[in-house]
């Protein structure tokens, strides 16, 4: 009986180790992706010195998605979050790699917005926060 229990313990430990290794690998990939895009935050064309040009958001989202695809990721989609109360803009890109899903945020401080559609502006003024799904 002791040999059987010992064998079960060994399989349990092996299973836990494999799960731990898988989680560590996924976290390392996620950290690498986030670090890569933190460096690119300063290169957003839609935000210059706190001024967000709403018409240029598409350029940045397309570039981010193309970069992710070039790295071998499957791009699932992107969301734009504008927060008027915190003077904040974030582009979240959802990707898949090795059957794991990742969220890659790229954010910037926004003091003013130009070329914003009136319906988006109205909702932002009413709610102070808006999230838009971006499709290409």
Q: Where are the domains of the chain?
A: 2-134
pLDDT value of position 59: 94
- 67-112 pLDDT per residue, tens: 889 989 999 999 999 999 899 999 999 999 889 999 989 999 999 9
Rounded to 5 degrees, φ, ψ at 24 are -65, -40
Q: Each residue of 78-108: b (16+ CB within 10 Å) or e?
A: bbbebbbeeeebebbbbbebeeeebebebbb
Question: Taking a C-beta distance cutoff of 8 angstroms, is the pair 135, 77 a contact?
Answer: yes
* pTM to 2 decimal places: 0.70
Cα–Cα separations (whole angstroms), residue 37 to 20, 85, 92, 122: 26, 24, 11, 30
Query: Does the structure show a pLDDT above 80 at 60?
Result: yes
Query: Does the structure show a pLDDT above 70 at 41?
Result: no
Question: Taking a C-beta distance cutoff of 8 angstroms, is the pair 41, 90 a contact?
Answer: no
Question: Taking a C-beta distance cutoff of 8 angstroms, is the pair 65, 80 a contact?
Answer: no
């Amino acid at each position: 009986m002791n040999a059987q229990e010992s064998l079960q313990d060994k399989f349990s430990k092996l299973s836990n180790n494999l799960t731990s290794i898988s989680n560590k690998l996924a976290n390392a990939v996620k950290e690498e992706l986030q670090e890569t895009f933190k460096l690119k935050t300063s290169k957003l064309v839609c935000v210059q010195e706190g001024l967000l040009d709403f018409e240029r958001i598409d350029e940045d989202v397309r570039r981010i998605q193309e970069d992710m695809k070039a790295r071998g990721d499957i791009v699932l989609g992107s969301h734009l979050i504008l927060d008027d109360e915190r003077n904040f803009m974030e582009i979240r890109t959802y990707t898949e790699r090795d059957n794991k899903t990742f969220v890659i945020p790229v954010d910037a401080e926004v003091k003013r917005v130009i070329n914003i559609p009136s319906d988006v502006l109205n909702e932002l003024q009413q709610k102070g926060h808006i999230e838009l799904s971006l499709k290409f």
